[in-house]
Amino acid sequence: MADRQILLDFEKPIVELENRIAQIRELANENDVDMVEQIHLLEQRAELLRREIFSGLGAMQRMQIARHPRRPSTLDYVQAITDEWMELHGDRRGNDDPALVGGLARINDRPVVILGHQKGRDTKDNMTRNFGMASPGGYRKAARLMDHAHRFKLPIITLIDTPGAYPGVSAEEQGQGEAIAANLRQMFGLGVPIICTVIGEGGSGGALGIGIGDHIMMFENSVYTVATPEACAAILWRDSAKAGKAAEALKITAPDLKRLGIVDYVIDEPLGGAHRLPLKAAENLKAALVENLDRLSKLSIEELQELRYQKFRKMGVFLES
């Protein structure tokens, strides 16, 4: 049964029906009445209702799922998909940003470097992780680990989940824009396979800082956007209440971005979102990673770099009639 404290608005009809089923089951047990058939019919109805609701989600509803507090994080996926994991710390310039984690891992005995944004589970954890908004030190730590991967010929896997890079004064003083730009330049030149996956919220330059790759994937209910719908609505209409309208116009969902050629593959989520069955979501992610690591590892350095270059050159091309 869904957690009342983190229940999304469009899930309420499902939860009400599930509560009703639980009440009927409890009454049947207390009064020793056989209501197995009736309960089964109600469970089928609840499943149909869930499929109907989740098959017709709008952009803002998918955004709500992407921001769900129980949605699996980078470290959750790392724990589920790797055989070994050793987190590495520090940018070697005096900083170790907990909002962006990275390290060495093995997936099916293949050594890789994994990088990803890390949000918190509760308010205290989110404060520590800065809500997944990385500082310049985080992006420089990522650059150091990517250089390590290039030197030792290790594929790079990035997991993107951030509302954006940290916009505070201290980040600007430390060169936020330069740190992200340096990562973009570096990733285009790396001679190893790079697979990027948006696991939750892919926001603006904060996402792009670890988002240049040979194969770009998104989870079904993740979002990838140049600006949050709330920010876009405030800029265009001076009314953040129009965030839903902005979300639809921005084309931020995985199906829209696949259609536009921004992402290469959409990873299926368990019905109701990755937070309902996180291990199944991790299984789907691992299968997609292994398949594409096998494919990309057969390419030469020159082929990888050309593939990466052509992929991003094609983005944003349009025709005027």
- Look up the pTM and report it: 0.88
Residues above pLDDT 90, as percent of the chain: 68
Who has greater pLDDT, 48 or 223? 223
- 320 falls in which pLDDT band (50, 70, 90)? low
Measure the CA–CA gap between 289 and 2, rounded to whole angstroms.
30
Measure the CA–CA gap between 10 and 61, rounded to whole angstroms.
8
- Judge whether residue 70 has pLDDT over 60: yes
Nearest to 88 by CA among 63, 115, 68, 111: 115
The mean per-residue pLDDT over the stretch 175-183 comes to 95
What pLDDT, on a 0 to 100 scale, did the predictor assign at position 321?
Answer: 60
- Judge whether residue 47 has pLDDT over 90: no
Q: Which residues, in sequence order, are bridge partners of residue 218?
A: 198, 266
Mean pLDDT of the chain: 90
The mean per-residue pLDDT over the stretch 61-73 comes to 92
The mean per-residue pLDDT over the stretch 285-299 comes to 96
What pLDDT, on a 0 to 100 scale, did the predictor assign at position 219?
Answer: 97
- Judge whether residue 88 has pLDDT over 90: yes
